[in-house]
Amino acid sequence: MNKQQVTFPKDFWWGSAWSAEQAEGRGETGKAETVWERWYKEQPYRFYQGISSETTTDHIHRYKEDVQLMKETGHNSFRVSISWARMFPADGIGEVNPKAIAFYRDLFTEMNKNGIKVFANLYHFDMPAVLQDKGGWESREVVDAYVNFADACFKEFGDLVYHWFTFNEPLGPILGSYLEDFHYPNNIDFKRGAQAAHFTILAHAKAIAAHKNYQLDSKIGVILNLSPTFPRSQNPADVKAAEIADLFYVRSFLDPMVKGEYPEKLVTLLREYDQLPEDYTEEDSAWIKENTAQLLGLNYYEPRRVKARLTAINQDGPFLPDWFFENHVMPGRRMNEYRGWEIYEKGIHDLCMDIKENYGNIESFISENGMGVADEERFMDKTGQVIDHYRIEYIQDHLAYLWKAINDGCNIKGYHLWTFIDCWSWINSYKNRYGLVSLDLATQKRTIKKSGEFYKQLSDQNGFEYDIDRLV
């Protein structure tokens, strides 16, 4: 055993993240119906235990208490999202809501007063339903509405926000809404999804251009969910399958949002199968080329392992990425059995090295990483504290590989855990808990978990003791 202090760079960002729809609750400020509220009205049986986003963690009423809990769990930074539906409650564009402005200014002021940098994300899956009715991300009108929303946020909160982000996991709504049936409005149509993806990327570029107009001290970037892709073997068929999977799931947003251009191999493939978006202009290309991310958030949970397809595709079925590969279940893999995800700590190092070697070593940070566990009441002691040593070990193991990436020259500035207080999780509601702080749904009582105490020590010491012989 070779235990030593693993120390991170000075001014490292220690914090966590959540989103408006998952934590705020509806509140009384006025808020348009989101796609999640619409979907819940139409199909409540698809939501775990029938729990909606009406109340969630009730952060809108408890934000001052929550900011104190951020301090008690070692936060020097925290990522929120700003609710588009709250800012523009009438039609997603119209008049900005003064009550929403007051809430966010109060929240951000409270965070800054307590030494917690505000990382503000503009879009986290929460499209106003009225704009979804206009086509959602398939519509140029909605792109313009988003840029109007972003501009209002820069104007109203620019003095309080440390860093901005245009989108969190923009691939998610494309997969969920157009390919895999886990986001409203549940279409299965790759070509429409490609159009929505293009307009999302265009919206990202135009929001960055709007941010530049204000000449703020803050930077603006994007947060992407990225999994390094591993072939089952070095057999050429497996290697090709992994390359194509990587194009769809990693390079599709990473390249245009950071480099300003789409990956040529992906464009060629989609052209061959007639899946390129219909509405695409040279002017769009110029916007995307000239307005790229200034920093990059990396959400890492699990690797992607694939193999060559062994079964034929039904050519009459819908076009999907699965036409080109199958997922590979690696024998002996470690699993988070509650979430169904592989635990592979070294993947966080592989991801950071990819960004260093292929994306100009852009300033980056781990913007999400975490472990969801069901029925955590099993691990409560007599005082009601969750003794979650499994989460502490998960964080340490990933941070050790992040430390290695930094020592290998990666430009990594921080680590944000998912999440702060147990929060509502889309159709899974509160099935799996991720927080440093536990939430009693009946009373809204917050209790710091053992991992929350560890996180405070981690932040105070800017590191922890670890057996570095475990690193490979």
> Active-site positions?
169, 368
Query: Contact at 8 Å (CB) between 116 and 21?
Result: no
CB neighbourhood size of 73 (10 A):
26
How far is it, in rounded angstroms, from Cα 227 to Cα 48?
26
Report residue 96 as tokens. 């900005």
CB neighbourhood size of 77 (10 A):
25
Compute the Cα dihedral for 429, 124, 33, 56 and give only its sign.
positive
Q: What is the DSSP string of 63-75?
A: HHHHHHHHHHTT-
How far is it, in rounded angstroms, from Cα 401 to Cα 228?
14
Compute the Cα dihedral for 199, 181, 40, 123 and give only its sign.
negative
Task: Collapse the DSSP code of 77 into the 3-class scheme (helix H, G, I; strand E, B; otherwise coil) and give the result.
Answer: strand
How far is it, in rounded angstroms, from Cα 117 to Cα 161?
7
Closest CA to 224 of 258, 195, 194, 261: 258
Classify residue 109 by burial, with Cβ atoms within 10 Å: 0-12, 13-18, 19+.
middle
Half-sphere exposure (CA, 13 Å, Cβ side) for 324?
19
Query: Contact at 8 Å (CB) between 186 and 193?
Result: no
Task: Collapse the DSSP code of 90 into the 3-class scheme (helix H, G, I; strand E, B; otherwise coil) and give the result.
Answer: coil
How far is it, in rounded angstroms, from Cα 344 to Cα 342?
6
